[in-house]
Structure 1
Amino acid sequence: MKHFIVVGKSERVVVAVLQGIKCFTKAKCTVIGDHETSKLSWSALCSRHIPIQFDQAPDLEVIKAINEIHKANPEAVVIPADCPAIRLVSRIQSQLHLPVTPIPEPETLDQMDDKWKFHEFCSEHNLNVPTTCYVGSKANLNFEEMVLKLGLPFVLKPSNESGSLGVQVIRSKEHYLKAIEGNDAYRFNSLIAQHYIEGEDIDLSLLAIHGRLSAFAIQQASGPRIKFVQNSELQALATRLCAASGFHGLMHIDARIEKSTGKVFLIESNPRFWASLTASVWCGLNFVEESIKASACADTNAGICVPLSLVSGTAYTRHPILRPAAWLSLVRFDQRGRLTRSATLDLYSLGKFTADLPVLAGRYLSKFLVRGFTALRNAHTIFQAVR
């Protein structure tokens, strides 16, 4: 029987991968992770949780645990979910007796996972990127010189963090002095400064097999809605990026469409699974399933002519309980039904939703008050005008 071993440190990414698995199979899943993923032991998505500490290189323990699972489940497959997991599995892959889903070589991973190295690679291969300067410590940054090079606003961010941690759009010297120079809590040591592209965000998710695009999805987020769209320029940039790097595995690329020209600029990449993974699953492209299929092929380049694509459809990030339109999906037996049930009926998912309720309630109350105030102000303006 199939058995999937999901290795990962990021709870959000690991959960998304588990939900992707449950959409196409009833196979059991074991999670190998640290304290952040330990709560998944309460989830029906996970039959077992094996705790490790990624920063202490427990290679022998992980090799033993994985090979024991494989011995009991000959059809088991390893799925590294995030960058710490990919680095770990890369070190031990030669000692594992079972397939691993496609992952990049360590040097390629490091190149794509660091914003400055990614910028250098793209510049070297004539891929559109914003003008960027390496800063290092914030003590090295001269505001006036940076404005001359990049203009205002410009973006300041760590090259080696994820999830928008430390990202600041600097719009004035006052903002810079308050948020960066005079902020003792802003202590990042590998900063880059980047020209701000006035425009809108657009992302591309992909699976590449030895440099060839195998599947991709292009998405734009608007509030709780993720819409899949077409953009031939971004697709071409991603194709060239994969070919030039020989990329093998999964990647999520952040990009911007410049308002004045319509030109697409690559901003950064995440060479791993991503937290919004289930949006493409909802709309018909399951990157987890596709990566598992690729791991089963002896010749992983075979059959790749036209990549699978997702360029239409809409998914929602809001929890299904808050969307009555999604409730009917609970009784469906297709991919959307299984995905809805995994987010609503699972003990872990319900607990997570309950814990987040105070924050969600605060957001809704804030929006309600803002709309109410705006309506009263508009009514007052109209009243004054007709007096």
Structure 2
Amino acid sequence: MHAFLVVGTARALVVQATLALRAHVDAECGVIVAKGTKVMRFSSLWSRYIEMDFNGEDDEKFVALVNRMAAHCPGLLIVPADCDGTRLTNRVRERLTAGLVPTPNTATLNRFDDKWSFYQFCVEAGLNAPLSWLIDSKEGLDFQRVAASLGSPFVVKPLHEQGSKGVRVIRSEAACVRLVRDETYQHAPLIVQRFIRGSDLGLNLLAIDGTIRAAAVQRRLQPQDEVAPIQFIHNDYLLDCAHQIARASAYTGIMNIDARMDEATGTIYLLESNPRVWRSMAASVWCGLNFMAELIEPDKSAGSMRTITDGYADTFHHPFFRPRLFYHAFSDSSDRGRLARLMLRDPCTLGSSAMAQWRKHFARPPDMLEREANGQETPTAH
């Protein structure tokens, strides 16, 4: 009997992990999420919803709860959806009686969940990465000095945030001064990175002990915002990067890597890594590669690498916004049909789809408006 317990603080990633799991197998799913995410209790994707602290205060409670659930369901498998979920399970994994999907150890997780550490890794491995600096805080920004070395515009990012939070494209000394004086911007330390004008790409991978078991390269169609359809493509350089990264780090688990192709030279640069579920995981499920299915049954892909090199999909597949999906919801018995039916029944998925559409048309944040006004690309959340 299959049963899963999805663990994480990022709501979107918990939803993506659960959708992929339940599209693969009809199973009971529970979730353990951060406190203050009560809206998720209304989702039809899980039968049990629990809130906990992920910073260590509730570790004993987590162990007791998981072991009690495992006693009633011997096949229970823990699935961390994000870095907080992986850190929590790693702290107590020796005391858990439930199974755990392949995940990176804490040292490896920290290496890839840090933008500066990932940049250093790329430099050491000989992989393309934009020239970058590390600064203690925004007060260390000197526009003239940075622009002389990295060029203008340049990008400022926090080391550990996700979903493009805190990312700023600085194109003038005035914009730099505004950022330094902005009391609401309290991220530190920061990575300052050369801006690559071009199109975004994503590399998704699953590795076991340094060997790639599944990989896919994706790009969003223009305008490359969060509701733009995703296209899967073949790219030799990024697939080679997947193998190099996995081998050099002996990586185990899933990972998403943000990349960008320079529009002038065609060179592909690796921007940052996300050692966790990504926000568009359902798109690869739709196109025939379910990373969660590969993750929970890693022995099935031993000795081979699963991949997809074509196909189009949406991050948000809710049939109310994509009416053509009603056909799959009512007549398709594959993972694709199960995914459509799951979304059709789930109010949280409907809400996420509606909010994405609203943000696209009505809620451009100020820094996004500035980038668009100057013909600069908007970072895509993964």
- Would you say same fold, with TM above 0.5? yes
1:314 is aligned to: 312
Q: Does residue 225 in structure 1 map to residue 226 in structure 2?
A: no
Are the aligned partners of 1:9 and 1:36 in contact in 2 as well (CA < 8 Å)? no
Equivalent position to 1:287, from 291, 294, 297: 291
Alignment of 1:93-104 (within 5 A): 93-104=93-104
1:176 is aligned to: 176
1:53 is aligned to: 53
Percent identity among equivalent residues?
Answer: 36
1:69 is aligned to: 69
Are the aligned partners of 2:143 and 2:172 in contact in 1 as well (CA < 8 Å)? no
1:18 is aligned to: 18
Query: In the TM superposition, what is the alpha-carbon distance from 1:289 to its structure 2 partner?
Result: 1.0
Equivalent position amino acid for 2:289 in 1:
L
Alignment of 1:80-159 (within 5 A): 80-159=80-159
Alignment of 1:294-305 (within 5 A): 294=298, 297=299, 304-305=302-303
Equivalent position amino acid for 1:182 in 2:
R
Query: In the TM superposition, what is the alpha-carbon distance from 1:67 to its structure 2 partner?
Result: 1.0
Query: In the TM superposition, what is the alpha-carbon distance from 1:251 to its structure 2 partner?
Result: 0.4
1:385 is aligned to: none
1:247 is aligned to: 251
For 2:359 and 2:272, how far apart are their aligned partners in 1? 29
- Cα 1:217–1:356, aligned 2, differ >3 Å: closer, same or farther? closer
Unaligned runs of 5+ in 1: 365-387
For 1:354 and 1:314, how far apart are their aligned partners in 2? 20
**Bigger Cα displacement from structure 2, 33-42 vs 201-210:** 33-42
Aligned residue pairs, count: 357
The answer to which structure has the higher helix fraction is: 1
Which protein shows a greater Rg?
1
Query: In the TM superposition, what is the alpha-carbon distance from 1:96 to its structure 2 partner?
Result: 1.2
Query: In the TM superposition, what is the alpha-carbon distance from 1:47 to its structure 2 partner?
Result: 0.7
Are the aligned partners of 2:254 and 2:276 in contact in 1 as well (CA < 8 Å)? yes
Query: In the TM superposition, what is the alpha-carbon distance from 1:196 to its structure 2 partner?
Result: 1.1
**Bigger Cα displacement from structure 2, 348-357 vs 64-73:** 348-357
Query: In the TM superposition, what is the alpha-carbon distance from 1:36 to its structure 2 partner?
Result: 4.8
Query: In the TM superposition, what is the alpha-carbon distance from 1:354 to its structure 2 partner?
Result: 6.1
2:8 is aligned to: 8
Q: Find the residue that maps to 1:23 and give its secondary structure.
A: helix
2:323 is aligned to: 324
Query: In the TM superposition, what is the alpha-carbon distance from 1:270 to its structure 2 partner?
Result: 0.3
Q: Does residue 214 in structure 1 map to residue 188 in structure 2?
A: no
Q: Does residue 269 in structure 1 map to residue 273 in structure 2?
A: yes
For 1:172 and 1:363, how far apart are their aligned partners in 2? 24
Are the aligned partners of 1:40 and 1:46 in contact in 2 as well (CA < 8 Å)? no
For 2:301 and 2:291, how far apart are their aligned partners in 1? 17
2:369 is aligned to: none
Q: Find the residue that maps to 1:55 and give its secondary structure.
A: coil
For 2:188 and 2:361, how far apart are their aligned partners in 1? 36
For 1:356 and 1:152, how far apart are their aligned partners in 2? 31
Unaligned runs of 5+ in 2: 365-382
Query: In the TM superposition, what is the alpha-carbon distance from 1:140 to its structure 2 partner?
Result: 1.2
Are the aligned partners of 2:231 and 2:312 in contact in 1 as well (CA < 8 Å)? yes
Superposed CA deviations along residues 314-369 of structure 1, whole A, max 9, x for unmatched, are 001344212222221220222222111211222443455567776567479xxxxx
For 2:239 and 2:59, how far apart are their aligned partners in 1? 37
For 2:233 and 2:28, how far apart are their aligned partners in 1? 34
Superposed CA deviations along residues 76-112 of structure 1, whole A, max 9, x for unmatched, are 1110110001001011111112321111011110010
Query: In the TM superposition, what is the alpha-carbon distance from 1:305 to its structure 2 partner?
Result: 2.9
Q: What is the Cα-based RMSD across aligned positions, in Å?
A: 2.0
1:34 is aligned to: 34
- Cα 1:66–1:327, aligned 2, differ >3 Å: closer, same or farther? same
**Bigger Cα displacement from structure 2, 228-237 vs 325-334:** 325-334
**Bigger Cα displacement from structure 2, 1-10 vs 347-356:** 347-356
For 1:205 and 1:278, how far apart are their aligned partners in 2? 12
Query: In the TM superposition, what is the alpha-carbon distance from 1:304 to its structure 2 partner?
Result: 3.1
**Bigger Cα displacement from structure 2, 335-344 vs 212-221:** 335-344
For 1:111 and 1:220, how far apart are their aligned partners in 2? 25
